[in-house]
Structure 1
């Protein structure tokens, strides 16, 4: 068994698509009109185009807003993305205008930072320290 697809709820699929591709650097995998203004819109890492897809899922269900509002209020990220260097990615994204709610913080073997995806979610980026030789 392996993870094939995961999702984040987004307020506006087109805005989310621009942010996740133009700013974060993901690539579009699927963009299928589902009718009613919704799309099956997934992105993937350019480093692993056949890997796990992230569905930018419309946030229309009534349970989504209170759930996401509670996560954001408590500073809890909706998901986490691995990066090679949190500090470098923080600098790159900050220069691109991305808002971070938490700058890079070392937490044992991992360094994390938390950004606002502009579509209703906090997203954590993380780098694990290399295994000791």
Structure 2
């Protein structure tokens, strides 16, 4: 009986280790939608102005499968785009992703830098 309980405990540890995790670094491509920590994100532009700027739109709590659709945001109106610069951060789900690099006309690299300590989002901590 004891070995049976150990086998079940080992199986639970393996299954917990198989949990899907989001990558900490993501490269968003111009004109494509990506799924980032529970949100669909669309990069409209990556511009070589001074300073470099990216225009992106996002919506959370929609199925990841919508990323491949023309209406990547799902039903309803397309979300508005907003500008973001290198060093600025945007919350996707419970994590804050900061812009590390803008490759004009091509892509934007973001990194999960902070995470909320609880649902109210009024306390964050660095991700190590």
Does TM-score exceed 0.5, indicating one fold? no
TM-score when normalising by structure 2: 0.29
The structure with the greater share of residues assigned to helix is 1
Larger CA Rg, structure 1 vs 2 = 2
TM-score when normalising by structure 1: 0.29
